[in-house]
Structure 1
Amino acid sequence: MVNETIRKIELNKFNNELGFKMALAIINLSKKRNQNIAVAIDRLNYTVFLFVDDNLSSDNQNWLRRKANVAKRFEESSLSVKYDLANGNMNLEETFALNSKDFLAKGGAIPVFVKDAGMIAVITVSGLKDEEDHKIIIDALKGEFID
């Protein structure tokens, strides 16, 4: 399991400019690794940033949306939800009545919390294997944006 313990990112503050810088850090790392990804930074009610690499299909934007919905609903990373469901022998549709057209429990969406304010945004990546989608977010943000 890759970075299973990273269920959320907690910051002292978050604004759209910081979200933009985080997205660029993720894209720059993907370019260094020759990986094609899609990235979205969403506040709870609007999109701050959206990028889909030229080599990906439009399906990746839908994957971004569905994974982000899981992170928003459970307030933890979509990868940790995937593991929790597997460990509890549960699934989104039967256990939580969530439609698979709108929710996808695969790695790649991590909620952003602001201390003393709660969840404020979700960072989502698609295009790689789901555990790698999760990992590239952590790898790109570690050090500069998160501890």
Structure 2
Amino acid sequence: MMHSSKPTIESVKAEEAALQVPTFHYDFAWTLGSLIRQKAAEGKQPVAVEVRHGNDVVFATLLPGATIDNFGWARRKCAVVHRFHRSSLRVRLEAEAKGYDFNAKFGLPVTDYVASGGGFPLILQGGTLVGSVAVSGLPDIDDHALIVESLRELLSI
């Protein structure tokens, strides 16, 4: 899957608002992670997939061609989501639009946080952040798009 249009801060904000979840439990995390894995496998995409409840990993998988380093990227993307309650792509786009170095501005170590697309917040309808989902292994816009496509399908949006 290649993402055809260039995302904007506004388009990503709209995705975040539209893709709030009605509930969160470990079966939901498994279903979401499995759906992302299935889509990636069908496309022969070498990715890591991680779903977190708070900071705790409740689903994780590597597809052929992905490496353990992809889990490092997924962890750093989820850390951004957890800290800012927004997608890591939106955080990257905001930093680019305002011309600042993300890690320097917020005093965050590059070993723990990365402003790169592919981390997405799991927010309950009503606004409570309960977790995050991350994909790593593709260009960051495609990592993000794989999550959004899967959430849309799972939520029937």
Q: Unpaired segments of 5 or more residues in structure 2?
A: 1-5
Deviations 1:5-33 (A, max 9, x none): 42363111111101100011111111121
Say whether residues 1:7 and 2:21 are aligned partners.
Answer: no
Q: Distance in 1 between matches of 2:61 and 2:109?
A: 25
Contact kept in structure 2, 1:23 and 1:39, CA below 8 Å: yes
Q: Using the TM superposition, name which of 25-34 and 98-107 deviates more.
A: 25-34
Task: Trace 1:1-147 onto structure 2 (pairs within 5 A).
Answer: 1-2=6-7, 4-5=12-13, 6-7=15-16, 9-116=19-126, 118-145=128-155, 147=157
Q: TM-score, normalised by structure 2?
A: 0.87
Cα distance, 1:57 vs structure 2: 1.6
Cα distance, 1:79 vs structure 2: 0.2
Contact kept in structure 2, 1:11 and 1:146, CA below 8 Å: no
Contact kept in structure 1, 2:48 and 2:136, CA below 8 Å: yes
Q: Distance in 2 between matches of 1:108 and 1:124?
A: 5
SS at structure 2 position matched to 1:4? helix
Paired residues, what number? Answer: 147
Instruction: Report runs of 4+ in structure 1 exceeding 6 Å deviation.
Output: none
- Per the alignment, do residues 34 and 105 of structure 1 end up closer, same or farther by CA in structure 2, a change over 3 Å counting? same
Instruction: State, as a whole percentage, how many aligned pairs show the same letter.
Output: 25
Q: Unpaired segments of 5 or more residues in structure 1?
A: none
